[in-house]
Structure 1
């Protein structure tokens, strides 16, 4: 069901009665029939239904049963029940055989149920107005037919301050206006209450679905973030260790001193990778915060350059502009972006020269990593490293550019906007 459909009062269709509600209608309807027949005998015994034209007892019982028994199906077929009971109510009055008290409340219940459970609001409104109009028409006809009898009996002891005839008319019609007006309004109120309840249930279901979707997205985001962090932490150091191991193997016999230096670099790289993994996993266990909370920042980019030099690359590193304190998230993202760009160079570029530049602009920090290699990121769309860089840049509403250079080599350039960190005095540095 779409939003517009269930929200529109006129178009909404109230669901039919449940099995429990239908069972309740059955027992209540049978109880009302029993009460109507019992009250019929009480009325007969009290002389309320005595007249020269009064029908036989069996017919009176039949009218009492027929006028109340349809209540058994009042919520299943509210339109048919209201029409049948209204017609039988008038018929019983016409025959002079009606039990007045219980059947009046039964008619009230039938018209109320039509207003509260009618499947089509426009048709329900028309049917109720037609039934009420028919009742007033019959009331007028009955009043005209029995006018002489009523006035001769009722006006004999009239002693009030108002005219007797008009008092009688206002009494008869006023009571019926209140009777039918209240049943109409109460039926509408019950239907509107059911509609509001349904709307709340739909909104609650939509809210639960939205919460489940948010939770699912959060789980997926957490998995992606952990995968990105593991990739950033492990890939760089393992790549450096692989290159150093290769250099050690080649230099083991010819240049033991160089081989010893490479082994030392491998040892340091392994120790650093383990330390970063331990720090990241500790942050995850401690508070569920992002692993970046304990990660390296932009001030450690020179270490990346030093590690790259140890692999045999010629590395140029430079900082342009006046360094300013960056928000932790921006600083950590800058470190990871440079780290991944250098890792890609070591793994895929077969480069000899690497250039790393950090530029502090007025409201951005720019990271520029280029090499003179002949390779590039694996795959048409880049590997996990490029995906991680895109995600980090997107989080900070930054810009990422990457691709081969016209004269050979590869370039990764990222620009991250930042808000200056406030000093203790409250002014931005």
Structure 2
């Protein structure tokens, strides 16, 4: 999973972040005013004779107070502070420590929060170049006005003036470099945090979709199980009950036999319902097929159809081969559904079930002599279930009327013979 980062634009500061900037800017300005008072109290003016007190206050606030909007307007704030710092140094305002720190913070903010990355890079490089240019100009001005005994206590191996220039350059390179690099690092970190949030959201959506798909799959399996097992037995019970009513007076013995079949079907349906309910209560999944329902039990389906009043025939052709359990169960379910449809919809009197083992194919053929497609469901759950089972085993299914009358269900599966 990857997220394209190039078009990402960092969102603007939140209300809480803007409130923090205001408090921070006011606190820095207050600190700068305190430092200005202390410097004037000491009386050490390294830049030269300072201007009047109101002008000192003006330059001090101009260099620090714009930080109240640093994340809302990072480029504008950085330009204002850099211009104010140059002006304050030109006018010999004594407060320079806090003002210089404010400039570094402003440069960092441009790198961390500016939306236009190209403009952010140009503005920072431009400010840095301007500050070093002013450093060179101020050095030249200081050299012109330098008194002969400017460094009375100098004792190092370097010339005092050269050492002062190198020291100023190195300090500025260090601080400006850190402000530039840390700003880019903060912006990259925010971009990566955005990527992680997007990926986490995609993962949550994917997990929700997977959970929903699992729920839907479970519902489909339960519906198929109810239709294939319970509905089959209930349908057979209805047909058998109708046959019992017709022969009750004419043939009581046959009626008793049919009622016994109805009783057995009811017990089977109740057992299947209980099995599924127990699985659901236990938090398990309903298996696709109940244990023991396989191709070997197809004959029992034919016997049930015969007990329901149909003339039936059942044949197995070819050399029977051991089948994978899932294929054996699918064969049973397809025959079961075809028999159920014949009993419920066909109005047939004859049912023919054949299983053919070919060299590389298993064929199931269920045919009746009923009404063909008339009265049959064209896209019911039974047909959907049969197609699902056939598709799951890479087979083919055809359901169509017979030329001589009636209806035929034919399924073919690739036969991979396995060791018994």
Verify same fold: TM over 0.5. Answer: yes
Give 1:12 shift: 1.0
Which 5+ residue runs of structure 1 have no aligned equivalent?
422-427
Give 1:165 shift: 5.5
Give 1:190 shift: 0.8
Residue matched to 1:268: 264
**What pairs with 1:11-50 in structure 2 (closer than 5 Å)?**
11-49=7-45
TM, length-normalised to structure 1? 0.88
8 Å Cα contact 1:245-1:262 kept in structure 2: yes
8 Å Cα contact 1:348-1:376 kept in structure 2: no
Residue matched to 1:353: 350
Residue matched to 2:314: 317
1:299 aligns with 2:314: no
User: Distance in 2 between the 1:129 and 1:403 partners?
Assistant: 80
Distance 1:10 1:145, change over 3 A: farther
8 Å Cα contact 2:108-2:182 kept in structure 1: yes
Residue matched to 1:424: none
Distance 1:339 1:153, change over 3 A: farther
Distance 1:139 1:214, change over 3 A: same
8 Å Cα contact 1:283-1:291 kept in structure 2: no
Give 1:155 shift: 5.9
Residue matched to 1:171: 167
Residue matched to 1:130: 126
8 Å Cα contact 1:351-1:372 kept in structure 2: yes
Residue matched to 2:364: 367
**What pairs with 1:253-292 in structure 2 (closer than 5 Å)?**
253-292=249-288
Deviates more, 1:54-63 or 1:356-365: 356-365
Residue matched to 1:425: none
Give 1:303 shift: 0.9
Give 1:321 shift: 4.3
User: Distance in 2 between the 1:379 and 1:246 partners?
Assistant: 20
Distance 1:409 1:165, change over 3 A: farther
Give 1:330 shift: 3.1
1:141 aligns with 2:162: no
The SS at the match of 1:356 is strand
TM, length-normalised to structure 2? 0.90
* RMSD over equivalenced CA pairs, Å: 2.7
8 Å Cα contact 1:111-1:128 kept in structure 2: yes
Residue matched to 1:193: 189
Residue matched to 2:373: 376
Give 1:287 shift: 4.6
**What pairs with 1:238-257 in structure 2 (closer than 5 Å)?**
238-257=234-253
The SS at the match of 2:355 is strand
Match of 1:343 among 340, 343, 347: 340
Deviates more, 1:353-362 or 1:11-20: 353-362
8 Å Cα contact 1:82-1:107 kept in structure 2: yes
**What pairs with 1:46-57 in structure 2 (closer than 5 Å)?**
46-49=42-45, 53-57=49-53
